[in-house]
Amino acid sequence: MEGATVRLLRGGALLRRNFPICLSSWKNPPHVLKSSQSEAGLKTTNKGLPYAPLQTFTDEEMMIKSTVKKFAEEQIAPLVSKMDENSKMEKSVIRGLFQQGLMGIEIDTKYGGTGASFFSSILVIEELAKVDASVALVCDIQNTVINRLIGKYGTEEQKAIYLPKLATEQMGSFCLSETGAGSDSFALKTKADKKGNYYVINGSKMWISNAKDAGLFVVMANVDLTLGYKGITCFLVDRDTEGLHIGKPENKMGIRASSTCPLTFENVKVPEANILGQIGHGYKYAIGGLNESRIGIAAQMLGLAQGCFDYTIPYIKEREQFGKRIFDFQGLQHQVAHMATQLEAARLLTYNAARLLEAGRPFIKESSMAKYYASEIAGLTTGKCIEWMGGIGYTKNYPVEKYFRDAKIGTIYEGTSNIQLNTIAKRIDSEY
């Protein structure tokens, strides 16, 4: 921005206000604090065992992180306000995610994927969320849910059919929630009746992320309601399957560019070959998938909160009141220090859960801790940032209020905060 003057249009009159020169528009990425930067390389002990701070990454992870940061700043940031206002993801952004290899991060290179690690997916989600949580969600669902489920449980034929498309051109959507099956997700009523070598699905789903743009739907349906949750089975349903109807996107408070739609299944015929994994094991796959993907949501909330924090701090370092920077008031310094400490704690929880998963060690408690804490801190941090910026933080001229709106969903989807606390408590109960 040239000079220190921001032009505001109010009531048809052009007003001028003097704001700190650091204030940028939606189109410019936030500043990055030195404390949030990472280093590459691993050290070893005298016994040859690797040890390193959790923010020490491999060269590959650093390269991916750097590439995504550049992509987000150059290709996503200029479109964030427009996408939020229109509740629509720009095609160029989706295309860019595929072109950058960000929609098939863990997919093997033989299927056209990037062939990187789960931790790399977490870094990507975090970096994207610093600029736009909606774009981060698209990437999160694709990598931590859809691709991993098919990679784990798909037949070789299913992998050969779907993974190349998911890596290069096709968005996936996970269909579990229903009107009467939210937190109690296994109370779902969508049925799949066997008819020869097909299953016929009837029912409906609610709150399905990415539904508007998805080409593949991973659908949980019950093949025998008398068995309860043990009848839940996972089906791969193509978008153009007859009888699959995608409803109007919800008009949401936040993450508006990511579509959330209801789905209706009216006699949807799905070949038996499109069952993912074993019949009746869908509930296991759903639980396992959500345990893993919650680390992705933690990364999304962490990145969102950090992006908002990085945008706000330069402002309060330049904004002056009563003859000095507002950053110099001790009361505000203590608030900043408090938020920075909580952000760092959320980062360590998230990275630790991801590293535990990669190492094949128990991670469910840590996953829930990361998701719970990062979601709560995202709400607190973004709320404080609005207060620190004062009146302009409350306007849509700047992205801080959007970060605040986007943050709320973190305490709701992929397991509410209370569900995470239940999971943590159960794990502690079993440990003692």
Q: Which residues are catalytic?
A: 414
Task: Check residue 351 and give left, alpha or beta (phi > 0: left; psi -120 to 50: alpha).
Answer: alpha
| 373 three-class SS | helix
Q: Which residue has the tokens 């098919």?
A: 150
Beta strands, E only, 41-134 = 43-44, 50-51, 56-57
Write out the two tokens for 161.
């059919």
User: Which are the contacts of 41, defined by CB distance < 8 A and separation ≥ 6?
Assistant: 52, 56, 59
Cα–Cα distance between 354 and 119 in angstroms, integer?
Answer: 6
Closest CA to 191 of 220, 217, 221: 221
Q: What is the C-alpha separation between 104 and 63, in angstroms, rounded?
A: 16
Structure token pair of residue 15 = 């007003």
CA atoms within 13 A on the CB side of 172: 27
- Which structure tokens are listed for 266? 């009216």
CB within 8 A of 58, min separation 6: which ones?
40, 42
Give CA–CA dist 355/363, Å, rounded: 9
* DSSP code string of 291-322: HHHHHHHHHHHHHHHHHHHHHHHHHHHH-EET
